[in-house]
Structure 1
Amino acid sequence: MKETLQYLFDGKTLCREQAKASLLEVGKGMHSEVEFASFLTVFKMRSITSEELAGFRDAMAELCLAIDLAEYNVIDVVGTGGDGKNTFNISTLASFIIAGAGVNVAKHGNYAVSSTSGSSNLLELLGYQFSNDPAKLKNDLEKGNFCFMHAPLFHPAMKHIAPVRRALKVQTFFNVLGPMINPSFPKYQLLGVNNEENFNHYRNVYETLDVNYIVVNSNDGYDEVSLTDDTHFAGNRKEGYLAPADFGFEKIHSESIYGGDSIDEAARIFMDVLEGKGTPEQKNVAMANAALGIQVVFPEKDLKECVEIARESLKSGKALQKLKAVIG
């Protein structure tokens, strides 16, 4: 690590393989917390490169407890968080709408970082049992077209990494790595990022991976399709901008998708939408994200057709049924 640190202190950047090798050593407990803290600090002093982020992603992927769900053709719908917007659990809700449309979802998530309620907070409160047992995850997919991978159960290397992150009390590149390191390595991903810099990194990294993907970032900083502004997107086939009207919806105000001040309140909003009692704005933003996820899996379908598939899943109660199937 000493040589790597000196190399970085000299203002140089790591290639993908160097970045991977460095983080592999950290994840295996080969370096002290002080050395690792110095390493993380480098990337607070300057911007990380896409090559470095790709290497760190490769290291965490190698270190994780991998789960083979290839037979289920799963999609993950996940955001980096860190946008400071405190929305309700839109990506998790979209996941159940997608599941209600018959598409298998393997969601990777964790407790909240910047919002009131992360996907793990919500699902834990609703009664979902976290597990890294492949049989349990596959059973959930069979019953409800959905399984959830609580990140700490799949990333044992974090025991060497988490204490330093907690001690530093600042955001690091790990805050944007999460969506990239789903341990089931899904064939399909809808990924939300919180700013243009991370959007560019994700696009650059995913161009090198064998994944069908769409990366999104709203122009006003949400790590999802917010309908509060246009959304920048990039995927395997094209890049551009989507206006709320492209989904068939009107532009909405940010307060209409606020996630509440407690996990209980976030869960109430979540269940209200699934049970058909949510506001039109809450339903529309959930359907918009679900529709884009459906289009990742079925690129031959146009976006408004995917919106109608999402609408039917939510309105018919199929999305709610999928939730009940995995928490019952």
Structure 2
Amino acid sequence: MKEILYKLFDYHYLSREEAKEVLFSIVKGDVPDTQIASLITSFLMRNISVDEILGFRDALLDMRVGVDLSDYGALDIVGTGGDGKNTFNISTAACFVVAGAGYNVVKHGNYGATSISGASNVIEQQGVKFTTDSEKLRESLDNCHIAYLHAPLFSPALKAVAPVRKSLGVRTFFNVLGPLVNPVQPEFQMLGVYNLGMSRLYGYIYQEEKKKFCIVHSMDGYDEISLTSQFKVITNKGEQLYIPEELGYRRVAQEELYGGNTLEEASQIFRNVLHATATDAQMNAVLINAAFGIQTIEQEKPIDECLGIARDSLYGKKALKALEKFIEING
């Protein structure tokens, strides 16, 4: 590990195989927390390479708890995290809107590392118990079109580094890895990134895998469609810049998307959205992300039609019914 660290300190890149072996060593407990922190910090000093991220991903997937849900043709909606905005759980709420519309979602998430409430926090606040039981996950998909995979249960490496990530409190390359290591490797992926450089990295990886994908980035630094600014959408078909007003939305202020200071506050916002009693800014942010999630699956549908499907799910209480059934099955 010392040799690896010296290599990184000299601004050299790791091969795909070296990166894979590093993560195996961490999981086996061969690397002290101080060296893990040094490793993480070194990647904050420069951009991570495609080979490095693929090597880390290979290790996580090799060690994952396997579950086969490939027959569901599911979507995952996830942000890299680390944008420093502390928004409420937009992506997670959008997943339930998509599920309410009848599309299968397999959401992969974790506790918040750089924000108050990660996906796992807000899901747990609803009384949900996490599981690796494939029959329970299938029951959830069959009855409410959504299953939730708590990352540490499926990826022991993420659990091994969780204390170091939390103590550092800054975004790390594990934020980059999260969207790539959903254990079921879903057919469709909608991903939010906090800078355009990362969108190119993911775009390259997804194109190599021939995955149907949608990468979104708000130009003022959000890792989701925030409606606070123009936003870029990159898909298998190319890229496009959108302006909120052209889609019929007013621009919102950053504070209108704030996720609160406690888990309870974040959970209440999440529930308000799915009950359709939240603010217009909160519900519109969820609707626009859900719409592009739907379009990731229904690539021939125009975004206006996908927005209509998302609105019907949210305001027709289909998303709420999906949440209630999800809690009933997984509680």
| TM norm structure 1 | 0.92
Equivalent residue, structure 2, for 1:218: 218
Structure 1 range deviating more: 166-175 or 89-98: 166-175
**Separation in structure 1 between the aligned mates of residue 38 and residue 212 of structure 2, nearest angstrom:** 36
* Partner in structure 2 of residue 128 of structure 1: 128
Output aligned runs, 1:233-248, within 5 Å: 233-248=233-248
CA distance in 2, matches of 1:91, 1:39: 29
Following superposition, the deviation at residue 3 of structure 1 comes to: 4.3
CA contact (8 A) 1:140 1:146 kept: yes
- Listed as ranges, the gaps of 5+ residues in structure 1 are none
Q: Which moved more, 1:28-37 or 1:49-58?
A: 28-37
Separation (CA, whole Å) in 2 of partners of 1:127 and 1:295? 31
Q: State the match for 1:263 in structure 2.
A: 263
SS in 2 for 1:264: helix
Distance between the aligned counterparts of 1:11 and 1:155, measured in 2? 29
Could you say what secondary structure the match of 1:206 adopts?
Answer: helix
Tell me the number of residue pairs that the alignment of Structure 1 and Structure 2 aligns: 328
Aligned to 2:99: 99
Matched-pair identity in %:
46
Query: Residue 81 of structure 1 aligns to a residue in which SS?
Result: coil
TM-superposed deviation, 1:43: 1.7
**Match for 2:72: what amino acid?**
Y
Match of 2:184 in 1: 184
Asked if the contact 1:82–1:194 (Cα under 8 Å) also holds between the matched residues in 2, the reply is yes
**Does the aligned pair in 1 maintain the 2:108–2:182 contact within 8 Å?**
yes
| Matches of 2:2 and 2:78, distance apart in 1 | 36
Q: Is there any run of 5+ residues in structure 2 with no aligned partner, and where? A: none
Q: Is the partner of 1:290 in helix, strand or coil? A: helix
Q: CA offsets per residue over residues 269-318 of structure 1, 9 Å max, x none?
A: 22222112122222211110000000000101011110001011111111
Q: CA deviation at 1:27?
A: 2.8
- Residue of structure 1 equivalent to 2:280: 280
Q: Secondary structure at the match of 1:97?
A: helix
5 Å-filtered alignment, 1:1-328, equals: 1-33=1-33, 35-166=35-166, 170-328=170-328
User: Secondary structure of 1:282's partner?
Assistant: helix
The alignment's C-alpha RMSD in Å is 2.0
Q: Which residue identity is paired with 1:132? A: T
SS at the partner of 1:259? Answer: coil
Q: CA deviation at 1:16?
A: 2.7
What is the CA distance between 1:113 and its match in structure 2?
Answer: 2.1
CA distance in 1, matches of 2:321, 2:156: 33
Deviations 1:6-37 (A, max 9, x none): 44344321233332233233333454555544
Query: Which has the higher mean CA deviation after the structures are superposed, 201-210 or 149-158?
Result: 201-210
For 2:299 and 2:52, locate their aligned partners in 1 and report how far apart those are by CA, in whole Å: 30
> Could you tell me how far apart the structure 2 residues matched to 1:44 and 1:122 are?
28
SS at match of 1:232: strand
Q: TM-score, normalised by structure 2?
A: 0.92
